[in-house]
Amino acid sequence: MDTKKLLLVEDEPFLARVIEDSFKQKGYQVTYASDGKKAYNLFLNHRFDLLVLDVMLPLMDGFTLAKQIRNTDKDVPILFLTAKSETADLIEGYTSGGNDYLKKPFSLEELLLRAEELLKRNSHHHHHLDLTEIKIGSYTFSYHKQQLTFQDRTVKLSNREAELLLLLYKNKNNLMERKMALLSLWGDDSFFNTRTMDVFITRLRKHLRSDPNLEIINIRGLGYKLIC
């Protein structure tokens, strides 16, 4: 099995060392940076399979760093570590390009499991899906570019919006179970994540409103259905 290359960005030296040692024990090759600017330079000059980013960083915060990275790489998995727990912070993490969000304090076992799940999910997308252009009603959806085009107007999607729309499309005209979606995209089906997913569903409805034949309906207590 290929050695997975991890970029760890964390400004607390003790926590960084503990995380680095844990990943190394699992066979990862770990590159460490203590601030956002140094991390961005490392990213531009090396290939990584996974990025673990603290949010509160010197010189460039984690959200800004993720946005910069997404300008050149739409696919590399990004896992945020943060002491922030407000819904607005969580949403900002996903809209800036994050794939997962782990609140401090956390267990190292959970961090390693989340990392493995992100790597599996990313590998699945690369090997099993042709996502160049997907027709959704009158829209053209490019998952890899994270774009939704209607006639001559193109909307830029966040990483999480693109993942959720893809899951809805794969279940089009059928029920996308709420629990399945939460476990697949967020890692757990907590009330907090449920509220967050509802926010992203509302955003997707707005993005798709130019085609009156498209609809994301709520199947109360069960999930959502993309009608197209």
Whether the Cβ atoms of residue 102 and residue 211 lie closer than 8 Å to each other: no
pLDDT of amino acid 125: 53
Confidence of residue 127 (pLDDT cuts 50, 70, 90): very low
Parent domain of 173: 134-227
CATH number at residue 114: 3.40.50.2300
Reference 51, options 127, 133, 115, 122; nearest CA is 115
Range from 1-10, 120-129, 141-150 carrying the lowest mean pLDDT: 120-129
Model confidence band, residue 130 (pLDDT cutoffs 50, 70, 90): low
Amino acid at 195: R
CB 168 within 8 A of CB 176: yes
Structural domains in the chain (count): 2
Question: Which amino acid, one-letter code, is at 151?
Answer: Q
Higher pLDDT, 94 or 100: 100
The whole-number pLDDT of residue 85 equals 65
144 and 117 assigned to the same domain: no
pTM: 0.61
Task: From 95, 128, 161, give the residue that closes a domain.
Answer: 128
